[in-house]
Amino acid sequence: MRTIIWDIDDVLNNLTKDWLELEWLPKHPNCCIHFEQLKANPPHLVLGISLNEYQISLDNFRTDLIGRNLSPSPEAIAWFEQYGSNYRHIALTARPFIAVPPAAQWVFQHFGKWIRGFGFVPSSRSTDCAPAYDSNKGEWLQWISVGAILVDDSPVNQEAAKSIGLKTVLIPQPWNNSEGSTKESFESINKVINSN
């Protein structure tokens, strides 16, 4: 059985969109930025704030009740319901340590029927003091040495996966200039994973 490695945020859920609309904009009513305008991730420069200010807001949202109870992507749920049992699955996220336990709980709550493994690469924060075994998802993927395909929203992660021989599917987001719809990207997974 082939293994699919799944990014969580902005692939299995809509974290950035939900953070912007449920956390940032209500607290910053003068901000006129729409989700489609977030052409960079992290989007701090688009928002005119520091990286630290963005990270604090995002981390607070990820660990708050709303962030821990995000709805899963309807396209992801539909794909898993139809095809999930045909493959093995591992979730892989890049988050600071404080935001990892809520992510693991969320994954197994919504996708635990299919996803049986969970990995993370710590996103650097000044308060973290644990050892960093991997500095990015590419290093983690090389270490784990399983997986046929990475499904992610980051072109950087996509290139890292390709460099070690994994196939990839890029889920469209404003910051990655991917063509097609989210539904089309999910529909392409079976074709990509089974291509030579």
What per-residue confidence (pLDDT) applies to 194? 87
From the number of C-beta atoms within 10 Å of its C-beta (0-12, 13-18, 19+), residue 84 rates as middle
Burial 123-139 (b: 16+ CB within 10 A, else e): bebeeeeeeeebeebbe
pLDDT, position 15: 98
pLDDT given at position 47: 96
Which residue in 124, 128, 106 sits closest to 6, CA to CA? Answer: 106
| Structure tokens given for 154 | 């980051």
Q: What's the confidence (pLDDT) of residue 128? A: 75
Q: What is the mean pLDDT of residues 15-25?
A: 97
Q: Where in the chain are the domains?
A: 3-14+72-193, 16-68
Residue whose structure tokens are 């701090």: 44
Tokens representing 93 are: 């996220």
How many alpha carbons fall within 13 Å on the CB side of residue 177? 4
The answer on pLDDT for 50 being more than 90 is yes
Q: Which two tokens stand for residue 84?
A: 């999930």
Q: How far is CA 95 from CA 15, 103, 114, in A?
A: 12, 9, 22
For residue range 112-162, list pLDDT tens digits in order: 999 999 999 988 777 777 777 888 999 999 999 998 999 999 999 999 999
pTM: 0.95
| Amino acid type, 86 | N
Q: Using one digit for the tens of pLDDT, what is the confidence trace for 56-83?
A: 999 999 999 999 999 999 999 999 999 9
Domain 3-14+72-193 adopts which CATH fold?
Rossmann fold (3.40.50)
Query: Residue 43, SS3?
Result: coil
Q: How far is CA 33 from CA 17, 28, 56, in A?
A: 11, 10, 19
Tokens of 50: 């520091």
Residue 132 is encoded by which pair of tokens?
A: 């960093």
The partner residues of 90 in beta bridges, in order of sequence, read 5, 117
